[in-house]
Amino acid sequence: MAHAHLDAAAGAPLHPAAREVLDAALARGYADPRALHGLGRDARLLLDNAREAVADALAVRRDEVWFTGPLDAVQRGLLGLAEARLHRGARLVVPSVEHAHVRHAARWWADRHGGQVHEVGVDSWGRAYDGDLVESAIGGDVAAVACQLANHEVGTIQPAGQVELPDGVPLFVDGSASLGMIDLPETGWSAAAGHATSWGGPGSVGVLVVRRGTRWSNPFPGDPEPQDFGGALPDVAGSLAAAAALQATLAERAEVDGRRRRLVDRIREVAAALPDTEVVGDPVERLPHLVTFSCLYLSGEALVRELDRAGFGVASGSACTASTLEPSHVLAAMGALTHGNVRISLGRDVTEQQVEALLAVLPEIVGRLRSEVGL
């Protein structure tokens, strides 16, 4: 059997719909869409079509959608809200399980303005306490609150749609790991970000949504209002491919995610039966394609290495800094084991055969590695 890529959360092949559109768009959408000549107007039409498609898919207005880089979407989304409320204070409220991109951006902005970042705790499943989010936003000095749509490491769905913040405090929703699988809340948020890879689009494209009427101010040099790609030359072809992938993903979501959820349930069952192994994250209210478990007495690096040798690509360490294999801040915040952890995330094309092949070798690999360390 060919090598099975079971780390789709970190990167996956383009959706066929995106690949088809990308090839065609590269031939037409290479000009600057801000230019007044014919090729520029043609590129602008393609970009506007992409914006319309994404807005329709996310159930927002077309003038609320902006294309940019994935990291830039997160940073501008959160910090733009904070910048617009700097006159009220420089305190940011962030759950302790937010992605490193959110946490780093919040700390950078707070340090720059003499503020602070208040981290809200989570329960044993990794879900932020919505009451704590609301209570932490009281006081008049809060610039913005962040709450991800679902956790990128353990899959637990967060209470982003349940938070009613006081005194006009804006909420930023990071959907980088989940848009395409989970819808944005209908109300209660001011800005959101998405990463096209979560729905099979190009890895270079992110989506920033700023709700109409929201006070938002550019936290970086440049024009004060939102712009595609921060005012740089827009990636028209990539944006159009991202839009096509999102539409296709939503059309097939019920079938694809239903199948992936069943396969993840199977992985959770086998992993939970392994001695001294903890499966983390909410077993029900979770992303359909992702599961994380930790094996006591083992290193995540060793598990990743041996599973790779057996033909299975998985992740370990902190999911947002996997190359360093640092202990996961998400698992630490949950009070779970921070070593010997494996994150498996299934792409849209994963097969039952691949999953069963993984589960056939997993107990043997765990047992062998433990015997090698004298257990």
Catalytic residue numbers read 320
Q: Output the CA–CA distances (angstroms, integers) from residue 106 to 75, 81, 98, 129, 172, in the order listed.
A: 8, 11, 11, 19, 12
| β-sheet bridge partners, residue 280 | 292
Distance CA 54, CA 162 (A): 24
List the one residue out of 96, 197, 207, 93 whose CA is nearest residue 145: 93
**What is the 3-state secondary structure of 344-371?**
EECCCCCCHHHHHHHHHHHHHHHHHHHH
Distance CA 340, CA 362 (A): 13
Distance CA 30, CA 373 (A): 56
Assess contact for 80 and 191: CB atoms under 8 A. yes
